[in-house]
Every structure is written in structure tokens, then in C-alpha cells.
Amino acid sequence: MESSIVQYTLEDQIATITMDDGKANALSPTMIAELDAALTRAEGEALAIILAGRPGRFSAGFDLKVMMSGPDAALDMIVSGGELFMRLYQFPRPVVMAVSGHALAGGILLAATGDTRIGVRGDFKLGLNEVHNGMAVPVLAHELARDRLSPKELQAAVIQAKIYNPETAVEAGWLDSVVDGENLAGVAMQEAKRLGALPGKAYALSKKSLRRQTIEYIKGSMDDNLAELTGKK
């Protein structure tokens, strides 16, 4: 599958899904829909997936033009984006995130849904900047953060909008490791092949069981939380 902003390749039963809108890799309705379609294809033919951004930009999060266009459009995108995050978080195949640069707001949440998250060295910013921008952090975001971050960093990362560089993102728990940019694709492929060689059914069931509590809490809280954030409660 190829489109203007999402590319899909399959090599040795490893699907590589690459986001590239030529700008900040914003999670627009089109990006979300094309990522979802790529996941559907990968689920049918791949042993593992790699999700990557273009060099220097993994994702800047939800498209601000859509977010600012009106409450209904913003809510629709948040809901569809949340469904994408949850699909990735419980995806039955191993998911390797090739975090190729900046990853802010929804971008760092996208990375957080992965099983292994590999970043690149450089002057890049990673983290939840919602509070800094005057927005509350929704339940899906802070529960994914709670699951992946070191407890000592959780308050700073979620409430205080702390932004990390790649090395401190590893210490906090947003990333598992960092590599030089020219090595990212190779390291991500090696990791995807390693994980893809594990027994698939055991991997999927163990992943589902491990993450069930977080998934159920998010799903049970999301509607009330969105109503509260949008002033409809």
C-alpha cells in the first residue's frame, strides 16, 4: 500500500509502516485512517510491524488545524485517534516503534503503544506538552504514560508537561533505547525479526493479559472523561 502520507512495505514477513506528510507527521483524519488500513493489512500477513516516521519527525500529535476548526471535528479526531492508539496497544503482533525524531503530545502516545520503542540521538523533543499549551491531559494519555513511565517521572511528565531529549526519554520510560539515525531502520528490523520469531499465539495472549487492566480502565473512563474535557458534563 502506498499513499501520499503512509507507505507500507513487507520484507521477510515484517511490515514497515512509515508516516511522511512532508511536515510534522500530524495525526490528521487521513493519517489516522491510512494507519488503520495499514494495520489491517499487517495483521493479515506480517509476523511483526515497525511503525516509523520520516527522519527528524516521528509525529507532532493531532492536527491542530482540525483541532481548532470546531469542537465536533476535534472530538471526532480525538475519538478516532484514541481508537488507533488502543488498537496498537493491544495489537496481536509485536510492534516496534522507530521513533525517528520529535514526538510530542499524540506523537509520544503513539510511540508509547509499541512493544519496543527505539529513538534516535539528536536535538529532539519528546513528551506530553498539553498542559503547557493550556489543554488537560485525557485519561487515555495519562494511563498510557502510567503504564510506560518510571513512577518518579509520571507527575512531571503528565501534570508539569516535562519535555525530554532522547537520552532522558529512555531514563523516564518513553523510549527503550536510542541509536544513531543511520542505524535506526536496521536496528528496528533486527528487533522486529527477533520478536516476530517468538510463538505468535503465546505473545498475543500474554500481551493482552498484561495490558488488560489498563485497557479496561481507559475504555470504561473515556466517555466520561471526554464529556468533562469538552464541557458536556
Q: What confidence score (pLDDT) does residue 1 get? A: 46
State which residues form the domain around 135: 6-196
15 falls within a domain: yes
Tens-place pLDDT, residues 183-208: 999 999 999 999 999 999 999 999 99
In-domain check, residue 221:
no
Measure CA 14 to chain center. 18
| Total tally of structural domains belonging to the chain | 1
- Domain membership of residue 1 (yes or no) is no
How many CA atoms lie less than 13 Å away from 146 in the CB half-sphere? 14
Give the lowest-confidence range in 13-22, 51-60, 220-229: 220-229
Let me know if residue 106 belongs to a domain: yes
> To the nearest whole number, what is the mean pLDDT of the chain?
94
Ranking 18-27, 92-101, 129-138 by mean pLDDT, the lowest is 129-138
pLDDT digits (tens, 9 = 90+) for 81-110: 999 999 999 999 999 999 999 999 999 999
Per-residue cell: 7 = 507507505
The CA distance from 229 to 233, in Å, is 8
Model confidence pLDDT, tens digit, residues 39-53:
999 999 999 999 999
Identify the band that residue 60 occupies on the pLDDT scale cut at 50, 70 and 90. very high
CATH of the domain at 184: 3.90.226.10
pLDDT at residue 3, rounded to an integer: 54
Q: What is the DSSP letter of 157?
A: H
Largest CA distance in the chain: 50
Any domain includes 208:
no
27-36, 69-78, 184-193: the lowest-pLDDT one: 69-78
pTM exceeds cut of 0.85:
yes
Residue 217 included in any domain: no
pLDDT attached to residue 63? 87
d(CA 166, CA 108): 12
Element (H, E) at 16: strand 14-19
Instruction: Judge whether 230 lies within some domain.
Output: no
Q: Is residue 129 part of a domain?
A: yes
